[in-house]
Amino acid sequence: MNDWLPILATTLAAATPLIFAGLGELVTERAGVLNLGVEGMMLIGAVSAFAVASSGGGLLLGTLAGIGAGMAASALFALLVLHCLANQMATGLALALFGVGLSAFIGRDYVSHVLDGVSGYTLLDGLPPLDPFIVGSLGLFALVQWFLYRSRGGLVLRAVGESPSTAHALGYPVRLIRWAAILFGGACSGLAGAYLATDYTPMWVEGLSAGRGWIALALVVFATWKPARLLAGAYLFGGVTILQFHGQALGLAVPSQFMSMLPYLATIVVLTLISRRGHAIRLNAPASLGQVWHPDS
Amino acid sequence: MFRLEARPAPSTLARWLAPLGALLLTLLLAAVLFAQLGQSPLHAFAVFFLRPLDGLYGIGEWLLKATPLMLCGLGLALGFRASVWNIGAEGQLTVGAIAAGGLAIHFDGSDSAWLLPAMAGAGVLGGMLWAAIPALLRTRWQTNEILTTLMLAYVAPLLLAWLVNGPWRDPAGFNFPQSIQFGESALLAPLLAGTRLTVAFPLALGLAVLCWLFLRHAYLGFQMNIAGQAPAAARYAGYSPARTVWVALLVGGGCAGLAGFAEVAGPLGQLLPSVSPGYGFAAIIVAFVGRLHPLGVVLASLLLSLLYLGGESAQMELGLPASITGLFQGALLFALLACDTLVHYRLRRSR
Amino acid sequence: MRCQSLLPHARMNSAPRLALRDITKTYPGVIANEDIDLTVLPGEIHAVLGENGAGKSTLMKIIYGLVQPDAGTVLWEGRETRIASPAAARRLGIAMVFQHFALFETLSVAENIALALPDAPAPAALAERIRATAEDYGLPLEPQRPVHELSVGERQRVEIVRCLLQSPRLLILDEPTSVLTPQAVETLFTTLRRLAAEGVSLLYISHKLDEIRALCDRATVLRGGRVSGHCRPAGESADSLARMMIGAELPQTRLSANNVRREPKLVLHNLSRPADGPFGTALHALQLSVHSGEIVGIAGASGNGQSELLQALSGEATLAQADMVQMLGAPVGRLGAAARRARGLGFVPEERLGRGAVPALDLAANTLLTAAGDGLVRRGLILRPTVRRYAREIIKRFRVKCHGSHALARSLSGGNLQKFIVGREIAQNPEVLIVAQPTWGVDVGSAALIRERLIDLRNRGVALLVISEDLDELFSICDRIAVLAGGRLSPLRHTSATDSAEIGRWMAGLFPTETTHVPA
C-alpha cells in the first residue's frame, strides 16, 4: 500500500497540467483553430498566478489570475487569427515565444521565491489528502466530455470545426463560436500554469512549464481529439515521470539528464505511434483545422 | 465600422512595408514600457539601439550576434516556404556545437590546418543528423515535425549538459560544468583586429546569396515553393513530398549546425552547458520578419541581434531586466502578423 | 422580350411571396447583380436561368441572407424586409437546398437536421419526425446514419427533408439536378410539384433548358448580372431560351468519324485500390482500354470512386501492381505522376485552383508547374524567357482572356483558367489525356472551345478519357461510355448504342457485373 501511493500521487500530479491544457486545446481544435501557443499561455498564466498568490492574494485569487491571464493571452491570438486573418501556425508560434518573454519579464522579481503548497482535503482516513486541482481536472474532463457529445453547443462547435463555411451558410456565428473556443483554451492553459506555479512546484523559475504546453499539443493528436483518450494519454505521461522521480529509488543508475529527456522522447514515440495510423487521424481531425476562414470567401 | 475586404492581388508594397510597420509598433510598445519602468523613452532608446553600436568593437559584436541568427534564419525560411515547420533550430544548433566541440576536444593539441574545416563539417553534419530524425519520422510515418523538432530542441541541451557535467568536463576546471578551452588551431581567428568577428559572418552572407539564387533560379527551389503554397498542386505535378521534407530539414539543420560550430569555435571557445541564448528560437522570428526571403533574413537578423545587444546594454546602464529582449522579440512577431493583414486585405468602411 | 402577362390566373389577387426591386451587388472589379427585378408568387415554381457567372448564385445568397445587396429593395409578402442572415431568412420561411450540399460529413443525418432547426426537439422525437416527413414525401432516410456514408442522391434528400421540417414558404434550389441520375430527377420533380401544389413557392436555379421547360411556371433569365428577359418556359423553345441566356444559340459539338488506327494506349487491368481517406470509395477490379483516336467517357456522380480512379491514373497515388495501369503497352502502375507525364500522359484535374494551378502564382509559373519537362529547365535551372514564351503561346492558342503571362492564376475566370490548364496539358503533346469535369462551372463559349480542342486531339490519334458528371456533355463528345458507381465500372457501350435512361440506371449501380468488352 505504501509503495504504490507515492507513485500514484506522482502520476496524478504530473498528469494534471497536461489534462487542463490538453482539454482546453482539444476544444479549441474541435472548433477548427490550431493554437500552438499553449506553452506561452501556460507560462503567462503561471507567472500571473504566482505573482498574485505570493503578493498575499491567496491561492484562489492566484488561480483566477492565472485563468484570466491565459484568457487575455488567447484573446490576442483570437484577434489576430479571427479578425486579422493571420496564419494560425505563425500566430501560435508568436504566442509561444511571446509568452516565454513576457513571463520572464513579469517574473523577474519573483525568481526562486517559494509559496506554501496547497493543502488538500481528506476524503477517507488513511488515504492521503486530495489535491483540489487534481479533483478539478477530473471535473473538467467530465464537463468537456458532456459538452462535446451531449449538448447542442458541442454539436455546433464540432460542426464549425468541420466546415465553417457550411456552418456560416446555416447562419451560425462562426467567429463568435471560435472566439469562445479560443478563450476556453486560454483559460485552461492559464489554469494549468496556475497549478504548476502554485501547487506542483510552488516557486517561480523562468520557463517553468518546461515544454508541457507542447506535450499537451501532442497529446491532443495522440488522443485523436477525444477527451477520454486525452485523459488516458496524460496519465501515461504522468507515469513516465515516475521514472524521473523514482528512478533512483528503483535502482536505475542513469544520469539525471537522461531521465529528464524521457517526457520529450516519450512524446516523439507516442506521436509517431499514432501517426502511423494515419486513418484514425484523418477520420477524427477537425476538417478545417488550421485554415484561415473569412465569411466572404 | 471597418471591415476587411480581400485585395484582388496581394500588395507587394504592403508586403515589404509590414515589417517596418511592425518595428514601429514594437518601438511604440517599448516606449510605453520604458516610461512605465521609470525611464525616459528617448534616453532608453539611445541606450538600447545606439550605445551598443558605439565604436568598432560594438559593430563587431552586432555582426557577430547576427551570424547565428542569419544562419538559422536562412535554413528555417527555406523550410517554412515549403511548409516544413522546423522550429527546433535551437536543438540543431546545440548538436552542431556538440559535434564541432567534440572534435576540438578529441584532437586537442593538434595543430593541423584541417581541424577547423573538419569541425565546421562536423557541426553541419551534427545539425543535419538532429534534423534527420524529424525528417525520417515525417516521411516514414507522417509524424508532425513541429512537435518532433521542438521536443528534440529540449533534448539536445540535456545531452550537452550531461557531456559537460560528465565525460567532457574539464578535469582542471574546479568541477565547473564546462569543457576545456579549445586550442589555437580549433578557434576561428578574429577577422578584424579589435573585434571578435570571425569568418562565419561573411560565410553567412555568402549563404544568403546562394539561398537567393537557389530560390530564384533552381527548379528544386520552385518545387519547394509550390509544395508550401499548394500541396495538392505539387502532388499533381509529381513533385516528391519526401524530397521537399528532407531538403528543407537537412538544409535547416545544416545551417543551424554551422551556427553552432561558429559559436563554439568563435566567441565561446569551449563547450558550456548553454551554447545559445535562444538563437534558434529567435531565428523563427528572423525568418518571418525577413518575409522568408534571404535578403529579408539578413536584415531581420541584424535587427534581432541589435535587440539582444540592446537588452544587455539596458541591463547594464539602466538596470532594466534582460528579459525585455525576449518580450520585444515576441511583440515584434505579433505586430508583424497584425500588419500582414494589409498585404492580402484592405480596410473598407462597411455600410 | 418582356412578357408580363404570364401570371397564373388563379393566383392573380394574392400578393407576391417575394419581390426584388433593382437589386445591385458589386464585388471588387465585378458587378455580380445589376438592377435585378424578380417576382415569385405563392405556389409557383419560378426558374432563374443563366449560364455560369451570370449572377444567379449571388442573387440566391441575397435572398437567403448570406450576402447583403448594395442597393435595391426586398419585399416579402408585400412588406419591405431586410434579410440580415440565414437565420432571419429561415424565420421568414425561406429555406435553401445548396448545390454543394451544406452538410457535415462526420455528423449523422439527425444531427445535420438538428443544426438547421432553431429549437430542435429531443433526439428521439426528432428522429421520429424525420422518418415521418421523409416517408410522407417518399424520400426514405435513416436518421442515425453518418452523412459520409450516403450517396449523392441520399444527401440531397437530407437537404430537402431538412428544409421541409422548417415548413418553408419559399424553397430555393440551386442547380439541384447537376449530380442526379435521370430517374432521380423525375422523383425530385414529383416532390417539387407536390410542394408547389401545397402552396410553397419554389425558386429553381438552373442552366438546363429542358428541365426548366418541363418543370417551371415562369422564368427570369439572367445574363452578365442583368435580367435579360422574363418568360413562360413551356411556351418557349430551347433555342429561344438559349438566346435569352447567352445571346446566341447553344453551340453544338459533333463527333465525326475519323480513320485513326485503333490501338490500345491506356489499359486498366484489374485496377483495385483502397479508399482514399475515411470518406472515400475503394475501387474494385476495373477493366478498361482506351484506344488512339477515341474519347472514352466515364459517367457517374462524384464520390463513387472518381477521385480514387483519377489519382490512380495520374500517378498521384501509386498502385499495388505495376500492370494495373498500362500506358502505350508498358506497365506504369508503380510510377509517380512526373514519370507518367514523361511517358506522354496529360491530366486536367477537377479542382483548378490549388491543384491544376497555384492560385497566387502567375501563368508563367503555372506553365512551369507541369511543362518543365518540355525544355523549360536545363541542368536544374529554370529558363525564364522560355517559360514566358511557352505561356504566351498557350494563352494565344487557347484564347485565354487575361493580362498576359504575368496574370495570377486566381485572377482568371473559371472558363479562362480551364482553357489555360487544358491548353498547357495539350501543348505538351500527350499520347494519353485524362480530363476530369472538363467544363464544370465554365461559360458556354469556353466550354465549346474546350470540347472542340479535345475532339481535335482525338482526331490526331490521342487516346482521351473524360470523367464527368454531365451526361449531355459525355454523349456529345464521347465515342464510348461507361459508368463508375460504388467503385465498380459498368460495361463500356458505344454512345450510339445506349441512351441516358440506361446510363442513368447504371449510375444507380444497376449494371451487369461481367464486363463485356466492346470492340473499338
For the question of whether the overall pTM of this predicted structure is more than 0.90, the answer is no
Q: In chain B, which residue's Cα lies nearest the Cα of A259?
A: B158
Could you say which of A159, A171, A283 has the minimum Cβ distance to residue C104?
A: A159
Average pLDDT over all residues of chain B:
90
- Please check whether residue C125 lies inside any domain of the structure: no
Q: Is B81 exposed, middle or buried (0-12, 13-18, 19+ CB in 10 A)?
A: buried
- Is the pLDDT at C3 greater than 70, yes or no? no
Is there a domain that residue C117 lies in? no
- pLDDT value, residue A296: 66
Could you give the 3-state DSSP secondary structure of residue C509?
coil
- Which one of C246, C262, C297 terminates a domain? C246
Most confidently modeled range among A235-239, B237-241, C407-411: B237-241
Query: Domains in chain B: how many in total?
Result: 1
Instruction: Encode pLDDT of A198-246 as tens digits.
Output: 888 888 888 888 899 999 999 999 899 999 999 999 998 888 877 777 6
The pLDDT tens digits for B123-178 are 999 999 999 999 999 999 989 899 999 999 999 999 999 999 888 888 887 888 88
Supply the range of the domain harboring residue B232: 68-278
The whole-number pLDDT of residue B110 equals 84
Inside any domain, residue B256:
yes
Q: Are residues C500 and C381 in the same domain?
A: no
Average pLDDT over residues C174-202: 88
Decide if A158 and C90 are in contact by the 8 Å CB cutoff: no
Least CB–CB distance from B147: residue in A76, A271, A294: A271
- pLDDT reported for residue C201: 95
State pLDDT tens for residues C25-53.
988 777 889 999 999 999 999 999 888 87
- C489 in the same domain as C447: yes
C205: pLDDT strictly greater than 80: yes
Read off the CATH number of the domain in which C237 is found.
Answer: 3.40.50.300
CA-nearest residue to B342 within chain A is A84
Residue A172, min C-alpha distance to chain C (Å): 8
pLDDT-derived band of residue A121, with 50, 70 and 90 as boundaries?
low
- Is A5 or B292 the better-scoring residue by pLDDT? B292
Q: Supply the pLDDT for residue A249.
A: 65
Q: Has residue A131 got a pLDDT over 90?
A: no
Question: pLDDT tens digits for B275-296?
Answer: 998 899 999 999 999 989 999 9
| Residue C313 is assigned to a structural domain of this protein | yes
Query: Where does a domain end: C206, C224, C246?
Result: C246
C-alpha cell at A47: 507567472
Beta strands in chain B (DSSP E): 2-6, 345-349
Domain contains C120: no
Which triple of cell numbers denotes residue C450? 474546350
State pLDDT tens for residues B189-222.
Answer: 888 888 898 999 999 999 999 999 999 999 999 9
CA B237 vs CA A296, B262, C289, C319: distances in Å: 30, 39, 24, 18
Distance from CA of C209 to the nearest CA of B (A): 34
Cell 507567472 -> residue: A47
Asked, for residue C515, whether it belongs to a domain, the answer is yes
Cα–chain center distance at C449:
18
Contact residues on chain A for C106, CB-CB shorter than 8 A: 158, 162, 287
Structure letter (DSSP) for residue C357: B
Span C175-181, mean pLDDT? Answer: 81
Q: Domain check: are C73 and C31 in the same one? A: yes
In this predicted structure, what is the pLDDT of residue C254? 78
Poorest-pLDDT segment among A140-149, B40-49, C147-156, C262-271:
C147-156
CB atoms B7 and C28 under 8 Å? yes
- pLDDT tens, residue by residue, C496-520: 899 888 898 898 888 887 544 544 4
Instruction: Mention every residue, 6+ apart, whose C-beta is less than 8 A from residue A152.
Output: C114, C120
Report pLDDT for A125: 58
- pLDDT for the residue B218: 94
Residue of A nearest to B151 (CA): A264
Judge whether C367 lies within some domain.
yes
**Is A4-284 a domain of CATH 1.10.3470.10?**
yes
Residues in chain C: 520
Other beta carbons within 10 Å of C19: 18
Q: Spell out the residues 6+ positions from residue C518 whose beta carbon is closer than 8 angstroms to its own.
A: C480, C491, C492, C493, C494
Task: Looking at the structure, tell me whether residues C70 and C178 fall in a common domain.
Answer: yes
**What pLDDT, on the 0 to 100 scale, is given for residue C5?**
40
Any domain includes B146: yes
Q: Hey, what amino acid is at A135? A: V
Alpha helical stretches, state H, C273-383:
306-314, 337-342, 363-371
Residues of A in contact with B158 (CB under 8 A): 257-258, 260-261
Percent of chain A whose predicted confidence (pLDDT) is above 90: 49
Same-domain pairing of C413 and C451:
no
Asked whether residue C308 falls in the same domain as residue C375, the answer is no
pLDDT of residue A169 exceeding 90: no
Instruction: Compute the distance between CA of residue B79 and CA of residue B82 in angstroms, rounded to an integer.
Output: 5
**Residue C22, domain extent:** 9-93+168-246
Find the helix or strand (DSSP H, E) in which C259 lies: none
Q: Are residues C438 and C513 in the same domain?
A: yes
Q: Which pLDDT does position C247 carry in this prediction?
A: 81
Decide if B20 is inside a domain.
Answer: no
Which strands sit side by side in the sheet containing C226-231, from one edge to the other?
Answer: C94-97, C170-174, C201-206, C45-49, C218-223, C226-231
Task: Kindly state the average pLDDT of the residues C329-334.
Answer: 93
Smallest CA-to-CA distance from C77 within C199, C256, C193 is with C199
Query: Is A86's pLDDT higher than 90?
Result: no
What whole-number distance in Å separates Cα of residue B198 and Cα of residue B201?
6
Q: Are C45 and C72 in the same domain?
A: yes
Which residue in B329, B243, B241, B293 sits closest to B78, CA to CA?
A: B293
- The pLDDT score that the predictor gives to residue A124 is 55
| Phi, psi angle pair for B312, to nearest 5° | -65, -45
Split into its structural domains, chain C has a count of 3
A237: closest CA among A8, A7, A15, A16? A15
Q: What is the mean pLDDT of residues C343-368?
A: 93
Q: Which amino acid is located at C337 in the chain?
A: A
What's the first-to-final CA gap in chain A, in angstroms? Answer: 61
If asked whether residues C395 and C437 sit together in one domain, one would say no
Could you give the count of Cα atoms lying within 13 Å of B57 in the half-sphere of its Cβ? 2
Q: Each residue of C447-501: pLDDT tens digit?
A: 889 999 999 999 999 999 999 988 888 999 999 999 999 899 999 999 989 988 8
In angstroms, what separates the C-alpha of C433 from chain B's closest C-alpha? 14
Weakest mean pLDDT among A109-118, B80-89, C274-283:
A109-118
Lowest mean pLDDT among A149-153, A183-187, C99-103, C240-244: C99-103
Strand ranges in C250-343 using DSSP code E only, listed in sequence order: 264-273, 283-291, 295-299, 325-327, 330-331
Does C151 have pLDDT greater than 90?
no
Instruction: Nearest by CB to B233, from C354, C372, C380: name it.
Output: C354
Residues C512/C491, Cβ–Cβ less than 8 Å: yes
Which of C369, C411, C412 is the best substitution to test chain B (most B C-beta atoms within 10 A)? Answer: C369
Closest chain B residue to C349, measured at CA? B236
Segment of A18-32, A200-214, C298-312, C444-458 carrying the highest mean pLDDT: A18-32
Window 61-120 of B: residues touching A by CB (8 A cutoff) are 85, 87
Tell whether C512 and C369 lie within a shared domain: no
The C-alpha angle with vertex B155 and arms to B153 and B157, in degrees rounded to 5, equals: 80
- Whether the Cβ atoms of residue B299 and residue B291 lie closer than 8 Å to each other: no
- Same-domain check for residues C445 and C328: yes
Which residues make Cβ contacts (< 8 Å) with residue C397, sequence separation at least 6?
C423, C427
Q: Which of C424, C442, C468 is the last residue of a domain?
A: C424
* Residues C255 and C334 reside in one and the same domain: yes
Per DSSP, what are the bridge partners of residue C271? C286
Percent of chain A with pLDDT over 70: 91
